[in-house]
Structure 1
C-alpha cells in the first residue's frame, strides 16, 4: 500500500486533533487538484484541504540543437 493511501482517514482535526475518517464533501477543481471539506464531530470545526496530484504528462522528445 502506498504512503498516501495508508494515511487516508487519519487526518487530525485542525482545531482539537480528533481523528477524522473521511471528508464531508469533495470537489474536483481540475485535473491536478481535489478540494475536501472536513467537519469535526467533536468540536464542530470545519476546514478545507486541497490534494495536488502529479502531472501525468510525459516530457516530449526535444530535438537536439547540435548540428553535425
Structure 2
C-alpha cells in the first residue's frame, strides 16, 4: 500500500474522530447536516447555522431524557 492510501486512510480516520469528539462535547456538525439534507431531502430548505445550532442544543438539553435539569 502506498503513501497516498495511508494518507487518505489517516484523513478519513481523523475526520471521523473529530466528528465523534464534537458530538461528545455538544458541537453540532453543520456540514454533515447539509450533506444529509442534499442527499435525502433535496426539497427542504436548510436551516441557517444559528438555527441549526439552537435546534441541536435544544434537542440535546431539553429533550426530556433522563436529565435532571
TM-score, length of structure 1 as denominator length: 0.24
Answer 1 or 2: which has greater helix percent: 2
From the two aligned structures, give the one with the greater strand fraction: 1
Structure ID, larger Rg: 1
The structure showing larger relative contact order (alpha-carbon pairs under 8 Å, at least 6 residues apart) is 2
